[in-house]
Amino acid sequence: MVICVSWVPELAKTRELLLRQAGYSVTSVLGRQELSKLPEIPNACLFILAHSVPREEKLEALTRFRHNSIAPILSLLRPHQSALPGVDYAVEAFMPREFLNAVATATSHRRTGWSVDCTNCNLIFDIREDMVAFLVSDRQSTTLQCPHCRTTADYEPREFRRAPKTSKEQ
Residues that bind Zn ion (CB under 5 A): 118, 120-121, 146, 148-149
Nearer to Zn ion, 7 or 125 (CB): 125
Q: Are 148 and 86 in contact (CB under 8 A)?
A: yes
Question: Minimum Å distance from CB 146 to Zn ion?
Answer: 3
Question: Minimum Å distance from CB 119 to Zn ion?
Answer: 8
Q: Are 3 and 166 in contact (CB under 8 A)?
A: no
Q: What are phi and psi of 6, to 5 degrees?
A: -145, 155
Question: Minimum Å distance from CB 166 to Zn ion?
Answer: 23
Nearer to Zn ion, 64 or 148 (CB): 148
Nearer to Zn ion, 13 or 150 (CB): 150
Nearer to Zn ion, 18 or 121 (CB): 121
Burial label, 146 (beta-carbon count in 10 A; 0-12, 13-18, 19+): buried
Question: Minimum Å distance from CB 144 to Zn ion?
Answer: 10
**Contacts for 65 with CB less than 8 Å, ≥ 6 apart:** 3, 38, 44, 47, 71, 73
